């Protein structure tokens, strides 16, 4: 007994991490092995970047030589002098304010219609959903072709069939860049639609039956039953779509970069925030500056998510 007692502190620590009984300790050991890859990944690719980025944002470093400590210079410059930063915020905010509300309404409308026992509903659901699984360069290419001002099918349709006088300069005029991007975004609304469809299917039918007995018309049923019952899904989509607005990068890179060397589009009209971040880091090689931009982005997304939770999350109805 004496001998065992001597190692009591060690054992206390060990049992803290590995559990008390021998069998439990074995299980805990296995559990640590199971979660080890994730833990390494978490430290290397989640915590690591945060530390690196926090440190680097106080340095000036152009990708070679040794970084120079500049204190808050990067942040100061971004917040007071950087016009492109403001432009990037403006572009992203405009994109979000266009795509998030329209996206939610459109996804809801499609889901609502698909929820009416129609014939061939599975096929139609797939047709709406397919665009959101095909993304990347090939699809950016496809849009480049469709939106071509002179020979694109969309302008052919608008001028030859509908009778518009002048073709619309979709991607070459600063005025039309944002509607073009909004259109591409709304094309990929399928995953939101499927989430809402699942939510709609989860609403018990008895609620509607009870409402009908009480003489509620369809508009009242929509307002008093469907939307409150669906509010968790709607809220979730709001969060996802808001965050996604800050993610636009591939499409402007593919569409604008090779032609002009300027992925930000005509007159910076497609200078999305992540694109500006990418450009600072990998085109202009301002690594410290890009890290500072990343931190600011992180704060913006956090604040937006908190606002979403406070402003709308409270009204979300969760069934117990």
Rounded Cα–Cα distance for residues 198 and 73 (Å): 49
From candidates 118, 222, 227, 283, binder to another protein by CB under 8 A: 118
CB 53, min distance to another protein, A: 4
Segment interacting with another protein, rule: CB under 8 A, options 46-54, 83-91, 263-271, 309-317: 46-54
User: In the numeric block, which tokens belong to residue 251?
Assistant: 């499409």
**Closer residue to another protein, CB minimum distance, 2 or 166:** 166
Q: Does residue 284 interact with another protein by CB under 8 A?
A: no
Stretch that binds another protein, among 73-81, 82-90, 251-259, 309-317 (CB under 8 A): 251-259
Angle between helices 190-201 and 121-129 in degrees, nearest 10? 140
| Spatial contact of 267 and 174, defined as CB atoms under 8 Å apart | yes
Q: Kindly identify the residues of this chain, within the stretch 184-243, that bind another protein according to CB under 8 A.
A: 187, 190-191, 194-195, 198, 205, 208-209, 212-213, 236-237, 240, 243
75 lines the binding site for another protein (CB under 8 A): no
294 contributes a contact to another protein by CB under 8 A: yes
Half-sphere exposure of 263 toward its Cβ, with a 13 Å CA cutoff? Answer: 21
Residue position matching structure tokens 């968790």? 232
The answer to whether the beta carbons of residues 46 and 264 sit under 8 Å apart is no
Nearest CB to another protein, comparing residues 73 and 207:
207
Residue 32 interacting with another protein (CB under 8 A): yes
Can residue 69 be called a binding residue for another protein (CB under 8 A)?
no
246 binds another protein per the rule CB under 8 A: yes
Which of these ranges, 3-11, 73-81, 130-138, 312-320, lies near another protein under the rule CB under 8 A?
A: 130-138
Residue whose CB is less far from another protein, 175 or 247: 247
CB of 58 to another protein, least distance (A): 13
Location of structure tokens 């805990």: 28
Cα–Cα distance, 35 to 17 (Å, whole number): 14
Please say which residue, 86 or 247, places its beta carbon nearer to another protein.
Answer: 247
Q: Which of 69, 145, 309, 317 binds another protein (CB under 8 A)?
A: 145
Of the candidates 263, 249, 298, which has an alpha carbon nearest to the alpha carbon of residue 57? 298
Angle in degrees, CA 223, 225, 230, rounded to 5? 95
Please state, in angstroms and rounded to a whole number, the distance separating the CA atoms of residues 48 and 80. Answer: 29
DSSP labels for 176-215? HHHHHHHHHHHHTTHHHHHHHHHHHHTS-HHHHHHHHHTT
The residue within the footprint of another protein, chosen from 58, 59, 108, 143 (CB under 8 A), is: 143
Q: Residues 165-184 vs another protein: string with x where CB under 8 A?
A: -------x------------
Reference 99, options 190, 184, 173; nearest CA is 184
Alpha-carbon span 188 to 275, nearest angstrom: 20
CB of 87 to another protein, least distance (A): 18
Find the shortest distance in angstroms from Cβ 51 to another protein.
8
């Amino acid at each position: 007994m004496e001998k065992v007692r001597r190692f009591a502190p060690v054992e206390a620590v060990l049992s803290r991490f590995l559990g008390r009984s021998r069998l439990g300790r074995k299980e805990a050991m296995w559990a640590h092995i199971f979660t080890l890859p994730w833990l390494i990944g978490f430290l290397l690719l989640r915590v690591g970047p945060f530390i690196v980025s926090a440190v680097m944002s106080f340095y000036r470093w152009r990708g070679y030589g040794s970084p120079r400590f500049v204190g808050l210079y990067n942040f100061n410059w971004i917040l007071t002098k950087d016009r492109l930063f403001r432009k990037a915020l403006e572009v992203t905010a405009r994109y979000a304010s266009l795509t998030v509300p329209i996206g939610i309404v459109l996804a809801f409308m499609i889901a609502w219609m698909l929820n009416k026992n129609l014939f061939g509903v599975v096929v139609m659901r797939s047709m709406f959903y397919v665009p959101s699984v095909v993304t990347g360069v090939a699809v950016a290419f496809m849009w480049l072709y469709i939106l071509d001002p002179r020979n694109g099918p969309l302008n052919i349709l608008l001028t030859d069939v509908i009778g518009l006088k002048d073709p619309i300069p979709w991607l070459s005029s600063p005025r039309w860049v944002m509607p073009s991007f909004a259109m591409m975004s709304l094309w990929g609304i399928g995953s939101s639609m499927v989430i809402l469809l699942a939510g709609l299917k989860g609403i018990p039918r008895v609620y509607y039956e009870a409402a009908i007995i009480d003489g509620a018309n369809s508009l009242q049923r929509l307002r008093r039953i469907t939307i409150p019952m669906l509010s968790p899904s709607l809220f979730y989509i709001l969060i996802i779509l808001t965050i996604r607005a800050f993610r636009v990068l591939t499409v402007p890179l593919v569409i604008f970069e090779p032609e002009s060397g300027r992925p930000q589009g005509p007159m910076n009209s497609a200078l999305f925030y992540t694109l500006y971040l990418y450009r600072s880091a990998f085109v202009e090689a301002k690594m410290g500056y890009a890290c500072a931009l990343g931190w600011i982005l992180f704060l913006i997304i956090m604040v937006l998510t908190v606002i979403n939770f406070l402003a709308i999350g409270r009204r979300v109805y969760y069934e117990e």
